Chains A and B, each alone.
Chain A
Amino acid sequence: GENVEQHPSTLSVQEGDSAVIKCTYSDSASNYFPWYKQELGKGPQLIIDIRSNVGEKKDQRIAVTLNKTAKHFSLHITETQPEDSAVYFCAASIRGTGNQFYFGTGTSLTVIP
């Protein structure tokens, strides 16, 4: 089955700096890669996603890049703000509704004011 690894497990940045979280996956059939933000005591929220036919996607301060050949994808947050502090999870899935999502182990991001 799919194996998703995520690094780093914790990340601290100064407010205004950029944060980068990286994930690798093992199954070349995976073609959908979402990123979730989870605040304490809440369920994960989808913040951005990318499909395998796209190399990069951007939404305001958040961007995701995908390298299918190397089987890795990354989340980039620019101009970080204290409210970006949360746990971020990457995931991989094979296209087709009802298919299981495989999650990374999470990155705890702290943005220091």
Chain B
Amino acid sequence: GAVVSQHPSWVICKSGTSVKIECRSLDFQATTMFWYRQFPKQSLMLMATSNEGSKATYEQGVEKDKFLINHASLTLSTLTVTSAHPEDSSFYICSPTSRSGLYEQYFGPGTRLTVT
């Protein structure tokens, strides 16, 4: 399967600060990136979809000014949680995919964010 990395794997930050999460697709070109959030014992919730070089499309209820997504290259996308609050504590997972005809969707290892 595809190799996807996320950094950091876990982060603790204070309320009001911003956190940037990086997602890299190491062996294919990610023309589309999905960002998910997963709360404990729950399924993956799609936050936003971004195509390389374009603005991200956010799901209903996800604040675009709070969760900034940058997908400037085919191998790197970033999610920045701005002015984080304790309720933003969650497991964030990226999922790159390609327009080359692949069905498959692979996931990064996730980033555990804890806001104190």
Query: Which residues from chain A sit less than 8 Å from chain B, CB to CB?
Result: 32, 34, 36, 41-46, 49, 51, 89, 91, 93, 95, 97-98, 100-101, 103-106, 108
- Closest chain B residue to A4, Cβ basis: B43
Q: Is the CB of B93 within 8 A of A98?
A: no
Cα A98 to Cα B46 with chains together (Å): 13
Q: Which of A32, A34, A89 contacts B44 (CB 8 A)?
A: A89
- Indicate whether A100 sits within 8 Å of B49 (C-beta atoms), given known contacts A42-B110, A43-B93, A44-B44: yes
Contacts of B46 in A (CB 8 A): 100
Cα A44 to Cα B91 with chains together (Å): 12
Known: A97-B102, A97-B103. 17 other contacts (CB 8 A): A32-B103, A43-B6, A43-B109, A44-B107, A45-B1, A51-B103, A89-B43, A97-B99, A97-B100, A97-B101, A98-B31, A100-B49, A104-B43, A105-B42, A106-B42, A106-B43, A108-B41
Contacts of B105 in A (CB 8 A): 34, 46, 91, 93, 101
Cα A100 to Cα B100 with chains together (Å): 16
Query: Which residues from chain B sit less than 8 Å from chain A, CB to CB?
Result: 1, 4, 6, 31-32, 34, 41-44, 46, 49, 51, 91, 93, 95, 97-110, 112
Contacts of A49 in B (CB 8 A): 103-104
Contacts of B104 in A (CB 8 A): 34, 46, 49
Q: Which of B41, B95, B98, B103 contacts A95 (CB 8 A)?
A: B103
Q: Is the CB of B108 within 8 A of A93?
A: no
- Indicate whether A97 sits within 8 Å of B97 (C-beta atoms), given known contacts A34-B105, A46-B1: yes
Question: What are 8 A-B contacts with C-beta separation under 8 Å?
Answer: A34-B104, A41-B91, A44-B44, A46-B1, A89-B44, A91-B105, A95-B103, A97-B98
Q: Is the CB of A103 within 8 A of B43?
A: yes
